[in-house]
Amino acid sequence: MRLSPTMAEAVSRQVTLELTASIVYLQLAIELENQDLTGMGTWMRAQAEEEQVHAAKFIAHAIDRGIAPQIGSIDAPQFTGRSPVELFEAALAHEEKVSEAIRQLYRTAQEESDIDIFPLLNWFVDEQVEEEATVGEIVGRLKLIGDDGAGLLRMDSQLGSRTPGIGVAE
């Protein structure tokens, strides 16, 4: 079944949003690495890679259904905060934005009676619940740590143990 024009446009928007998320995470990595929090930077870089995988999933689905998605414009991310907790809060806010976009894509698919995209969207709904929970937990832990330098360095080390590519959604 070929994607309808409405679904093709919606999938293109989602591809752009997933690629935007990748750039957001990359900028967050840069900000953290600039503060010598290389472990947190490593975690953010792994997230950036994961978002590219997410975009690739939507691209593959669209191409399989006879449509070449169009990547829209992507603005450079701007962050007002610079502390680790503020940067992870920015990541959480972006995940919440992506989650809402997935829900809206689901609604569009329902309106278009596009049942062929539901397996992909169901996977993304589950993925976004996990993403928000993970980033939310990190924010919570950073708030508990507060200004404790030793605690921040322990957290940095823990997050840095994530190997890029490992844990990336397939």
| Residue-wise pLDDT tens digits, 11-21 | 999 999 999 99
- pLDDT-derived band at 167 (thresholds 50, 70, 90) equals very low
Quick check: is 77 in a domain?
A: yes
What CATH number does the domain containing 136 carry?
1.20.1260.10
Quick check: is 170 in a domain?
A: no
Quick check: is 51 in a domain?
A: yes
Contact by Cβ (8 Å): 94, 47: no
Quick check: is 166 in a domain?
A: no
What's the confidence (pLDDT) of residue 145? 96
Contact by Cβ (8 Å): 15, 69: yes
DSSP designation for 78: -
The reported pTM is 0.91
Quick check: is 107 in a domain?
A: yes
Sign of the Cα torsion 92, 94, 97, 99 reads: negative
Quick check: is 123 in a domain?
A: yes
* Intra-chain end-to-end CA distance of the chain, in Å: 24
Quick check: is 144 in a domain?
A: yes
Distance CA 13, CA 32 (A): 28
Tell me the residue range of the domain where 30 lies: 5-160
Quick check: is 168 in a domain?
A: no
Q: pLDDT by residue (tens digit) across 9-58?
A: 999 999 999 999 999 999 999 999 999 999 999 999 999 999 999 999 99
> Number of structural domains, the chain?
1
